[in-house]
């Protein structure tokens, strides 16, 4: 069976990689794109993209209304991605969302909409299989070594901090770790932010530098020992196996799935 796909953000770093991946998959058909143009070149003039003989929409609602599609892939920005995903569910087109930076409330709202419509939806904070394994190993380690800090490092064009991966890692750690405040009870920051962001006592430090792609270390400490679980993405192709798997799996789902670990066999 052919899976008909819409992509939003086709000229972006991830979106352009997804366009190439979909074009190279025999069972996937790219049927439309949502692209705001943003005063830049037309999609057809972007050398790194394959020739696209499909409708390109600026208005997402018009795209969902007029396009016969099975799956919608969003790789845009947090605010826009949330609106796109809502609309896609309203039109019963299954979203696969890589866009990060959604709040917990937004994810819950999308889960409700997905269930009400019986339309599958997959939100993956990280599509790289290695990153998912890193999160799972961290979840296991936290059971035995509950003192943990997360360092995530990304390219300097990233809009959201902390990364979706870091937030998801903290959530997964909370599933096995007893709630605790870490560090000295009397510790004080002499420079605001020195101890990073904090959720349930877990500190998250976000680094942004040119040259980086997507990297994370989860550090655990116990008496006389530390353990580091680390993952690096060196290019955006690292995410594409996960996008492929998500497109196939969302076709079989009638509710929202949050995290690639829930579809890995
Ligand atoms: N889940 C995962 O594994 C991964 C997730 N991500 C996430 O994916 C998202 C995209 O990342 P990345 O590709 O690096 O970012 P880019 O900035 O390269 O791409 C984002 C694209 O979204 C487009 N866009 C912005 N606003 C709109 C709009 N109103 N309508 C249509 N398109 C719009 C931009 O268009 P324009 O060019 O005109 O500004 C741009 O092309 C981010 O949220 C990132 O965190 C990234 C990597 C992996
Ligand atoms: O913006 C990125 O690049 C990435 N964003 C995702 C996140 O916020 O975790 C996934 C990956 O880290 C790359």
Pairing mode of beta strands 147-154, 202-208 = parallel
Hey, is 255 helix, strand or coil?
coil
pLDDT band at 145 (very low <50, low <70, confident <90, very high): very high
Mean pLDDT, the chain, integer: 96
Atom of ligand 2 nearest to the CA of 100: 8
CA dist 226 and 80 (Å) reads 40
Q: Which ligand is nearest to the CA of 164?
A: 2
Give the pLDDT band of residue 265 (cuts 50, 70, 90): confident
Distance separating alpha carbons of residues 178 and 12, to the nearest angstrom: 40
pLDDT at residue 39 above 80? no
The ipTM assigned to this model is: 0.98
- How many residues in total does the chain contain? 265
| Tens digit of each residue's pLDDT (9 = 90 or more) over 148-161 | 999 999 999 999 99
pLDDT at res. 55: 93
Give residue 147 CA to ligand 1 midpoint distance, Å: 34
Q: Which of 7, 8, 9, 83 to mutate to test the pocket of ligand 1 (most atoms within 8 A of CB)?
A: 9
- What average pLDDT does the segment 19-48 reach? 89
Q: Which residues partner with 222 through β-bridges?
A: 225
Q: What is the pLDDT of residue 50?
A: 85
> CA nearest 160: which of 114, 230, 106?
106
Active site residue 4: no
User: Which residues touch 53 (CB under 8 Å, ≥6 apart)?
Assistant: none
Per-residue pLDDT tens digits for 80-117: 999 999 999 999 999 999 999 999 999 999 999 999 99
Which residues sit opposite 197 in a β-bridge? 204
Quick count: other Cβ atoms within 10 Å of Cβ 259?
18
pLDDT band at 40 (very low <50, low <70, confident <90, very high): confident
Q: Which atom from ligand 2 is nearest to the alpha carbon of 159?
A: 1
Residue that the structure tokens 């909409």 belong to: 113
Query: What are the tokens at 227?
Result: 């353990």
Say what the pTM is: 0.96
Report the pLDDT averaged over residues 21-37: 95
Residue 20 has pLDDT above 90, yes or no: yes
Cβ(73) – ligand 2 distance below 6 Å: no
């Amino acid at each position: 069976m052919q899976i008909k796909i819409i992509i939003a953000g086709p000229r972006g770093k991830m979106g352009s990689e997804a366009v190439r991946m979909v074009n190279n998959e025999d069972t996937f058909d790219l049927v439309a794109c949502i692209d705001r143009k943003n005063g830049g070149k037309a999609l057809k003039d972007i050398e790194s993209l394959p020739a696209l003989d499909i409708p390109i929409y600026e208005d997402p609602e018009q795209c969902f209304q007029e396009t016969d599609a099975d799956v919608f892939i969003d790789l845009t920005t947090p605010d826009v991605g949330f609106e796109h995903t809502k609309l896609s569910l309203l039109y019963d087109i299954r979203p696969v969302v890589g866009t990060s930076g959604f709040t917990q409330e937004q994810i819950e709202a999308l889960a409700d909409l997905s269930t009400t419509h019986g339309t599958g939806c997959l939100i993956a904070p990280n599509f790289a299989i290695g990153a998912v394994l890193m999160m799972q190993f961290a979840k296991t380690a936290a059971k035995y070594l509950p003192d943990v800090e997360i360092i995530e490092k990304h390219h300097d064009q990233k809009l959201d901090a902390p990364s979706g991966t870091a937030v998801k890692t903290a959530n997964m750690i909370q599933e096995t770790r007893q709630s605790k405040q870490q560090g000295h009870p009397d510790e004080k920051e002499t420079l605001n932010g020195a101890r990073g962001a904090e959720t349930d006592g877990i500190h998250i430090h976000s680094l942004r530098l040119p040259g980086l792609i997507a990297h994370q270390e989860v550090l655990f400490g116990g008496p006389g020992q530390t353990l580091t679980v680390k993952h690096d993405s060196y290019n955006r192709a690292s995410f594409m196996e996960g996008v492929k798997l998500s497109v196939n799996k969302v076709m079989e789902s009638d509710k929202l799935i949050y995290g690639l670990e829930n579809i890995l066999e």
